[in-house]
Amino acid sequence: MPPPTKHAMPAADAAWLHMDRDTNPMVVNSLSLLGGVPAHEVIVELLEERLVRRFPRFRQRVVDSLGRRPAFEDDPSFDLEAHLHRRALPAPGDRAALEELVGDLVTAPLDPNGPLWRIHLIEGYEGDRAAALWRIHHCIADGIALSQVLLSVTDEADPELGPPAGEGGSALHRVASLPGEALAAGRRLGGAAVHEGMETLAHPDHLRELAGAALREASTVAKLLGAPPDAETSLRAPLAGVRRVAWSQPFSLAEIKDAGHRRRVTINDILLTALAAALRETLGAADELPEEIHAMVPFNLRSPDEPVPAELGNDFALILLELPLGDVGPAERLREVNSRMEAIKRSNEAPIAYGLVGAIGLTPPWVEDRLIGFFTEKASLVVTNVPGPRERLSFAGVPVEGVLVWAPCSGSLGMTVSIFSYAGEVTVGFMVDTALLSGPGPLARAYERELERLLG
């Protein structure tokens, strides 16, 4: 029998593979709240037809040898049933019980000996309902691509379940409009960083010099590479490797959009402002309140009309956003968030960061580890904003009543906040390492209060 064919892993995907830590697995977690319990055989047939056959990565394992570029190869012993687990939710089967079980499940790493994904079907949620927890390694795809994958295994719900939403989640996400020259400059910077790896590591100032030689926007480079470590708060504590999750109540996307129109800001600006205010309340209660903290924010580089390739992959950049926590009113905080987001959109920060992520994926593992630390020490959390479907959907014949997504953190970061829109509603999910907060429930409630203030 011939050996399995290997497919070299793109550099950006390899970077996410190598960011795995015992305390910080690089896994995208998505929870679908279901109106019933789908039949096991229906799920298996659906996944075989629409997931495994369509997207090869879901039947391929990762081969990662020291000193060689990692690759995907077909798993000769692939068994779809091994990736689908059924679980009973412990009593009393309410939301608190679901949050605790999901926290336990997202703490565990994926088995590295097979394809890097799992689905946990959790039964007994609020009586006869269920939840499906999808766990997919970031080296397979980014959040935008994975949302399309999840869409591919769902169907439009029966019209009697409710009408489709009028305004879709695309309003929540701005695809980067980047000139080819800027993208090329970012790639040159990444290549230079790899070529000069050891010297760069020993002298971080040299990386800034390389960037300044390759790009005209020296201020952008200085922000991304020259920023000092983020403010010392409990959000920067050493990680325990145990995670807990919580989520907000769903909010009307139309109401958020209307509030944005009234204030001449974007939907995203309002959602981020509520987060800044909620973090101020949480950190203030612990008597540690800097003027601002920084968030790593993924910035999509795909065109909205571009189909997701069968090989999936990662096509986004990480930008650095300052969240204002100072003692100001909601209107002033909103203006400040809007100003900072607009400055990022006008800059070339996204292509610079994209080139550097690709560079990380090409370096030796021990160099890579130091470079990841160099970047993640500049932020305190990850914030993602992924547009979901406008229509109400069903999975294996059962209505999907809500969707949550938690992006992974990286390096020393231990908190992720994920904004997801579905069927005209927006839900915000929080995932946090217990060394930072015992649980994110109070933060989720604070977020609800702050968003309601902004919508009033």
Domains and CATH numbers, the chain: 6-167 (3.30.559.10)
- Please state, in angstroms and rounded to a whole number, the distance separating the CA atoms of residues 290 and 374: 21
pLDDT at 162: 39
Categorise residue 269: left if φ over 0, alpha if ψ from -120 to 50, beta otherwise: alpha
pLDDT at 206: 53
- Please state, in angstroms and rounded to a whole number, the distance separating the CA atoms of residues 205 and 188: 17
Shortest CA distance to 349 belongs to which of 322, 373, 327? 322
- DSSP structure string for 30-87: EEEEESS---HHHHHHHHIIIIITT-GGGGEEEE--TTS--EEEE-TT--GGGGEEEE
- Please state, in angstroms and rounded to a whole number, the distance separating the CA atoms of residues 303 and 94: 40
User: Please, are residues 378 and 412 in contact by the beta-carbon 8 Å criterion?
Assistant: no
pLDDT at 191: 55
pLDDT, one tens digit for every residue, the chain (456 residues) = 566 678 888 877 887 888 888 888 999 999 999 999 999 999 999 999 999 999 999 999 999 866 677 899 999 999 999 999 999 999 999 999 999 999 999 999 899 999 999 999 999 999 999 999 999 999 898 777 777 788 889 987 544 433 333 333 333 334 344 445 555 555 555 555 545 544 444 455 555 555 555 454 445 555 555 567 888 899 999 999 999 999 999 999 999 999 999 999 999 999 999 999 999 999 987 677 889 999 988 766 666 556 667 777 766 667 788 999 999 999 999 999 999 888 877 666 665 666 665 555 555 555 555 556 666 788 899 998 888 888 899 999 999 999 998 988 877 889 999 999 999 999 999 999 999 998 999 999 999 999 999 998
- Please state, in angstroms and rounded to a whole number, the distance separating the CA atoms of residues 294 and 301: 21
Q: pTM here?
A: 0.84
Cis peptide before 164 (omega within 30 of 0): no
pLDDT at 341: 86
Beta bridge partners of 32: 132, 403
User: Please, are residues 323 and 279 in contact by the beta-carbon 8 Å criterion?
Assistant: yes
Element spanning 88, H or E: strand 84-88
- DSSP structure string for 221-275: HHHHHHPPPPP-SGGGSPP-S-EEEEEPPPEEHHHHHHHHHHHT--HHHHHHHHH
pLDDT at 15: 77
Torsion of CA 46, 48, 10, 229, to 10 degrees: 50
User: Please, are residues 444 and 248 in contact by the beta-carbon 8 Å criterion?
Assistant: yes
Task: Estimate the crossing angle of helix 11-18 against helix 349-360, to 10 degrees.
Answer: 70
- What 3-state class would DSSP assign to 24? strand
For residue 257, what are the contacts with CB-CB under 8 A and spacing of at least 6?
Answer: 167, 171, 267
- What 3-state class would DSSP assign to 319? strand
Structure tokens at 124: 């007994």
pLDDT at 86: 95
pLDDT at 296: 85
